[in-house]
Amino acid sequence: MEYTTLGDTGMEVSRLCLGCMSIGTSDWRDWVLDEEEGIELVERAIDLGINFFDTANMYSDGESERVLGKALEGQREDKVVATKGYFQMDEDDPNSGGLSRKAIEQELEHSLDRLGMDTVDLYQIHRWDYDTPIETTLRALDDAVRRGQVRYIGASSMWTYQFADALHTSDALGLERFATMQNHYNLAYREEEREMLPFCEQENVGVIPWSPMARGYLTRPDEDIDATTRGETEEYLYEHPYREGGGPEVNERVQQLAEERGVKMAQIALSWVLHKDWVDAPIVGTSTVEHLEDAVEALEIDLSDSDIEYLEEPYEPVPVSGHD
Ligand SMILES: NC(=O)c1ccc[n+]([C@@H]2O[C@H](COP(=O)([O-])OP(=O)(O)OC[C@H]3O[C@@H](n4cnc5c(N)ncnc54)[C@H](OP(=O)(O)O)[C@@H]3O)[C@@H](O)[C@H]2O)c1
């Protein structure tokens, strides 16, 4: 396994982060692994040298955090665990969502309880809260760091102007600064290259993209998009604009290059993300040990500048997707 320093945190993370949206309970989504298989996946990831895990309070309504915490029991000291808050957790409690001080304090406590941890390494805001001033959110997060419940804070999909506002506010007030950006980025969705990625590079913010294989769209030919349970049932696969613009042509070129190199499409798609200097560690989603092993093997694929140009060439701008 390769390791890299996450942004300017000084913390070393594996170049692949295991995305834990696929573990928790199949009651939440058909394609999600239940506890036993979820634990097996995490254990295999550890065997392969992965030390970085990403979950969220909303994944499987909290079950993802619980299963991850259980899988890491007794061996969490040398792991880096990231979770997130923002989405409403209890439909009868409007304060179980958003980024008010009340929501952050409550939901962070619940996350730590489920994870079975006193401190989480990275606590991320899952989205921008238009109803809470960023100063209020940052003060609550800063206090969580001072209390020792959180080591670093991070953000996820938002507009670059919002992220710039957040960094400026924390700098001006001497508060903890967002150390990471978890954004939507893959060969079929590259809108983040306009503003967010160069901005993160300039600010030394660690970049940990979500859906690096376009939620599976770049792991099989376009015509087979619905060939798996997730492909058949996951609405986001169709809501994201992967098939707009040059998407199908990008998909075809991923296939061609994979055939030429004798590797899998998923490995070419992941390798492309890994070749981008502004990316620290893509967050890989899988529900099988075999696919996890494919991801680790992708670290060994070397793409030339002309391979990268060939893969990128058909891309055309698409509507922004992943945040409002
Ligand atoms: N911050 C946010 O708003 C946000 C949003 C979405 C996701 N995330 C995070 O990002 C993580 C990854 O997201 P994701 O699951 O949407 O994206 P992904 O990694 O782009 O795609 C996962 C899909 O690719 C398939 N796949 C993976 N490796 C494969 C292989 N070798 N061969 C064939 N198919 C393969 C998986 O199928 P199998 O299950 O069959 O392997 C799954 O359907 C999540 O777990 C979560 O932690 C964050």
Name the closest-CA residue to atom 25, ligand 1: 216
- Ligand 1 neighbours (beta carbon < 6 A): 19-22, 54, 126, 156-157, 182, 210-216, 219, 228, 230, 264, 266, 283-288, 291, 294
Residue 76's contacts (CB-CB under 8 Å, 6 or more residues apart) are: 117
> Is 59 annotated in the active site?
yes
Domains within the chain, CATH numbers bracketed = 3-217+278-301 (3.20.20.100)
Compute the distance from residue 143 Cα to the ligand 1 centre, in Å.
33
Query: Which residue in the list 3, 59, 130, 310 is annotated as catalytic?
Result: 59
Collapsed DSSP state (helix, strand, coil) of residue 287: coil
Contact yes or no for 251/222 (Cβ under 8 A): yes
For the record, the structure tokens of 78 come out as 């040398």
Q: Which two tokens stand for residue 30?
A: 């058909």
Residue 19 Cα to ligand 1 midpoint, Å, equals 7
Q: Are 288 and 123 in contact (CB under 8 A)?
A: no
Report the residue among 23, 111, 210, 324 best suited for mutation to probe ligand 1: largest number of ligand atoms under 8 A from its CB. 210
Tens of pLDDT along the chain (324 residues) come to: 999 999 999 999 999 999 999 999 999 999 999 999 999 999 999 999 999 999 999 999 999 999 999 999 998 889 999 999 999 999 999 999 999 999 999 999 999 999 999 999 999 999 999 999 999 999 999 999 999 999 999 999 999 999 999 999 999 999 999 999 999 999 999 999 999 999 999 999 999 999 999 999 999 999 999 999 999 998 888 899 999 989 999 999 999 999 999 999 999 999 999 999 999 999 999 999 999 999 999 999 999 999 999 999 999 999 999 999
Nearest to 310, CA basis, from 256, 238, 235? 256
Closest CA to 242 of 169, 153, 315, 176: 315
Beta strands in the chain (DSSP E): 3-5, 12-14, 17-19, 52-54, 80-85, 120-125, 150-156, 178-182, 206-207, 283-285
User: Would you state the structure tokens that stand for residue 189, as one six-digit string?
Assistant: 């969705």
What pLDDT shows up at residue 238?
A: 87
DSSP codes joined into one string, 191-252: GGGTTHHHHHHHHT-EE--B-TTGGGGGGS-GGGTTSSHHHHH-HHHHHS-TTSTTHHHHHH
Which residue's CA is the closest to the ligand 1 atom numbered 21? 215
